[in-house]
Structure 1
Amino acid sequence: MRIVVLGAGALGAYYGARWQEAGHKVINLVREGRAQQLREHGLVLHSKNGDYEVPDLHVAESTDEISEADLVFLSVKGYHLPGTLPWLKQLVQKGAKVLPVLNGVEHLTILQRELGEEAVIGGLAYIIATLDEKGHVHHTSPFHDLVFGPLHPSQQQICEELSLACSQANMKGKQSPNILEDMWKKYMFITSFSGITTAVNLPIGEIRQHPETFLIAKEMLNEMKSLANANRIQLTSDDVETAFNNLNKLDDSMTSSMHQDRRKGLTLEVEHLHGGALRLADEHNLSLPYIQTVHAMIKPYENS
């Protein structure tokens, strides 16, 4: 496949490198600063699932450098989404479908409105990774799962091609027949996990030592289930228990990417995640008191 990774941060660079390792053509479309970093230091993965150094790294700073593409793997933070739209429109005109793996769900409406419903595939990723000072990827979770699925009948072929590409690569890729439901399950989990770790500025293991604090994580899961149901996504109490059990299974030192960004003093994705949940709740006159409180606690650090 011909894959353009738009947003070659830790997540995008990881999956792009794995596809290139499997023999697919990957171009990293990035801004000037990241392009310079990649050209100077290269791209290296440090992973529990196997290290890898990309031998022939392709970097582009404009869509003019890309003649054709099958897929755009969109892995930017939610607050960077508006800036990607001109590039995305140009790549869709060149024949590409777009697979966004942003957290939350608000981006789907934006992308479908700007690019057309046929252009946007549903997707999500389960991975914990960060960049070091050289821009190399440190993959710290045992999982590196990518889930995707068609949101329009015309996307079935590209999803099958992507499924084959993932099976050839060192990752766990799965095509889902219920991608919207899967996206909401991820949204539910990440809202709780990122919210509680960022708000109290601790990894999950230390939070679990305080049942009163850890209970807030479960209450956020319950609120997200109610929000999903209001949006006609049939998440259940069993889904809440599964998500809570997954929080219990994480290594003590594990924390969210949002908490890592807070530690580094970087911009936080709180408005895209928790703010997005509150906006969706307002549309249904739904109250989310725990999420609202956590949103308010994180907000002062959003642009630190």
Structure 2
Amino acid sequence: MNVLVFGAGAVGAYFGGRMLEANHSVSFFVREKRAKQLKEEGLKLISPEGDFVTKNLTLHTSEKEVKNTDLIILAVKGYHLEHVIPQLKIIMEQTGAFVLPLLNGFEHIDKLDQAVGKEKVLGGFAYIFATLNQQGHVVHGGNSSSIKFGSRHESQIEVCNQLNSMNQHVKTNLLLDENIIKEMWRKYLLITAFSGITSATQLPSGFTINSESTFNVLKNILLEMNLIAEKEGVIFAREEVDKIISLFKQYPNDTTSSMHQDLRKGLPIEVEHLQGGAVRYAQKHNVTIPVIETIYGILKPYENGKPN
């Protein structure tokens, strides 16, 4: 199977790199600046799962260059989605490929369905704590990583099975899930709470866990997100929510979110895609989510990077 990784930030570079390491057919669609950096520095993973470096890369900077592709792994930030959809459509029209989006949240699924058709859009997301250093190398800060994926249409079953067959050969986890919609919402609950609290406090998880008042804010975000999920037809038992809460207590004290990392660097953050999306879902269903609305209001000024 020929895989195109669309975007080579920390997420795209990491998982694409792991597939390359296992000798799978992988190419990257990147911007000119990132292509230049990858050509000069190579693709390098610094990770507890094993380091890897290569300069033997197939890079595309124009959608017209992309030909033989079966699966596109879409690994861009939420705020880039509108910009890349026209490019994505051209590539999919040229190749007939399916797309596996690894964006957080859920609003992007509706946008992609409208743009390229539901039968072409798999469900999925990534679990990884990683960032790029100044050389553009991926620094993996956790002990594990995974992509969870699954079919949303019967036409996607074969490509999902092919991706699943790659799992045993790569130094990460490519996990087929038959209930991918619920798993995507589970991640949405987790990431909205974790990104919100670490970014609003501008502190890693240890400070959240060790402060009862701050940890209560985190739990209230999860409860509000659970209410939204229920209105969208995705039900989590209270025990499932409690299990998510318990996950935070297992994180090392210095663990933080990619949103907090971006905030510290003065980069744009995904507040509109995550907390803003939750606010829109709440408005859609006429429910109140005061804690998330407060976090959203605190972080909104940083949406496009450090305010001048």
Aligned to 1:65: 65
Matches within 5 A, 1:194-233: 194-233=195-234
Give me the TM-score of the superposition, normalised by structure 1. Answer: 0.98
Separation in 1, partners of 2:66, 2:80: 21
> CA-to-partner distance for each residue in 1:176-235, whole Å, 9 max, x for gaps?
111000000000000000000000000000222211011100110111111000000112
| Residue identity matched to 1:151 | R
Determine if contact 1:6/1:28 at 8 Å carries over to the other structure.
yes
Matches within 5 A, 1:105-254: 105-254=106-255
SS state of the match for residue 252, structure 1? Answer: coil
Separation in 1, partners of 2:127, 2:227: 22
Aligned to 1:297: 298
Q: What is the aligned-residue RMSD (CA, Å)?
A: 0.8
Aligned to 2:44: 44
> CA-to-partner distance for each residue in 1:159-184, whole Å, 9 max, x for gaps?
00000112221111211111000000
Separation in 1, partners of 2:163, 2:170: 11
Separation in 2, partners of 1:72, 1:166: 17
> CA-to-partner distance for each residue in 1:105-132, whole Å, 9 max, x for gaps?
0000000000011110000111010001
Determine if contact 1:78/1:103 at 8 Å carries over to the other structure.
yes
**CA deviation after TM superposition for structure 1 residue 84, in Å:** 1.1
**CA deviation after TM superposition for structure 1 residue 82, in Å:** 0.9
Percent of aligned positions with the same letter in both sequences?
A: 44
Structure 2, unpaired ranges of 5+: none
Separation in 2, partners of 1:176, 1:58: 30
Give me the TM-score of the superposition, normalised by structure 2. Answer: 0.97
Aligned to 2:275: 274
Determine if contact 1:205/1:252 at 8 Å carries over to the other structure.
yes
Determine if contact 1:185/1:239 at 8 Å carries over to the other structure.
no
Q: How many residue pairs align between the two structures?
A: 304
**CA deviation after TM superposition for structure 1 residue 55, in Å:** 4.3
Aligned to 2:20: 20
Separation in 2, partners of 1:55, 1:32: 16
Greater shift, 53-62 or 252-261, is seen at 53-62
> CA-to-partner distance for each residue in 1:272-304, whole Å, 9 max, x for gaps?
000001001101001111101111111122221
Determine if contact 1:225/1:236 at 8 Å carries over to the other structure.
no
SS state of the match for residue 129, structure 2? Answer: strand
Structure 1, unpaired ranges of 5+: none
